[in-house]
Amino acid sequence: MKSISVVIPNYNGKRLFEKYLAHNVNLLQNLSSEVEIIIVDDASTDDSVAYLKEHYADKIRLIEKPFNSGFSETCNVGIQHANMDLVFLLNTDVIIEEDYFEKLYKYFEYKDTFGVMGRIIGMKDDNILDAARSPKILGRKIKPSHFYYLTDDKRLTPTYYLSGAIALMDTQKLKTINGFNEMFNPYYGEDQELSIRAWRLGWKCYYEHNAVCRHEVSASTKGHKAKNSIKRIHFRNRYYIHHLHLHGLDLSLYHLQIWLCDVLPCIFTFQFYKALAYMDVVRNLKELAKKKHDFDSQMKTHQSTIGILDIIRNIRLRLDYKEAIKL
């Protein structure tokens, strides 16, 4: 049985720890495999750290960051300290149901598995909040589409990306790929971009419908920013993903589409968050170019020529199977 490093990023999550951490720690400590629990605090201003030291000092490894930076960097700190075979990313607003891991271990019998996630449902109901994602493309805009899964037990269900709230990933591969892109701080889209890099290196991301977690919706980001600031971050990170993974004519057409469909309409309607998000991209073109160059070098090392459009075609082929159930 593979060992697991559980990495929990935290920012002002005392209330959530009081509600959910005891359940998760108890479940993790009763697994048949070796487990370490790493909580990385992102310079919280509540009493999270004091609470953890008082109640969980002997059960967790607590890492305190000196300044607040966001989800990607906080997770990366935990990933760097992970010593086990697998890394399990767990949000503070999630509880794991019984037998979650037992249903996921089998995926790591395949050497090309990067990671796997289970089904996320509501904390108080069984409404599906996240599952396997099928990507769709409109012009050159790429975005996640509907949820789905394959009912044929002989086929594994691929997912466009793994949710950063409950993803179980191969530690060595995760460190090889350098974890999350910290340009995506403070949050949004970093798990999608990470999964795209994994797919492009020839690794696989899977979904297991029978492994279940429950999630308190938006609890971990409540009150972080004003509404338009959140929208700006969301669209900036969406633009980042396309700039990093489209090339040549496809990239040029994408930027043209963004100008015509996002930026100009946003200006004319006095909703400036998309225009501001695009300006963030322009300001960071140099750093984006470096990230893109570094990953292209990694692609060459792995002798991979897989592009994001290849990933989309491959996953969408699965939807033609009669066993594909849209959720």
**pLDDT, mean over the chain:** 93
CB 94 within 8 A of CB 215: yes
Dihedral sign for Cα 139, 144, 147, 151, please.
positive
| 64 burial type by CB count under 10 A (0-12 exposed, 13-18 middle, 19+ buried) | middle
Q: Decide: helix, strand or coil at residue 20.
A: helix
- Predicted confidence at residue 20, as pLDDT, reads 97
Nearest to 172 by CA among 74, 73, 79, 60: 79
Q: What is the DSSP string of 171-188?
A: HHHHHHTTSS-GGG-SSS
Residue linked to tokens 């050497």: 111
What global pTM score does this model have?
0.94
Instruction: Break the chain into its structural domains and give their ranges.
Output: 227-302
Strand partners of residue 215: 94, 122
Strand partners of residue 125: none
What would the pLDDT profile of 245-291 be if each residue is shown by its tens digit?
A: 999 999 999 999 999 999 999 999 988 999 999 999 999 999 999 99
Amino acid at 4: I
Residue linked to tokens 């959720």: 327
**For 97, which DSSP code?**
P
Rg for the chain, CA atoms, rounded: 20
CA neighbours closer than 13 Å in the CB half-sphere of residue 67: 1
Phi/psi of residue 206, each to 5°? -125, 165
What would the pLDDT profile of 114-152 be if each residue is shown by its tens digit?
A: 999 999 999 999 999 999 999 989 999 998 888 998 888
CB 20 within 8 A of CB 97: no
E-state strands within the chain: 4-10, 35-41, 61-64, 86-89, 94-96, 113-122, 128-130, 132-138, 141-150, 157-158, 168-170, 204-215, 324-326
Q: Decide: helix, strand or coil at residue 289.
A: helix
Residue linked to tokens 């993903």: 241
Rounded alpha-carbon distances, angstroms, from residue 102 to 25, 192, 203: 16, 25, 22
What would the pLDDT profile of 38-96 be if each residue is shown by its tens digit?
A: 999 999 999 999 999 999 999 999 999 999 999 999 999 999 999 999 999 999 999 99
Q: Is the pLDDT of residue 1 over 60?
A: yes
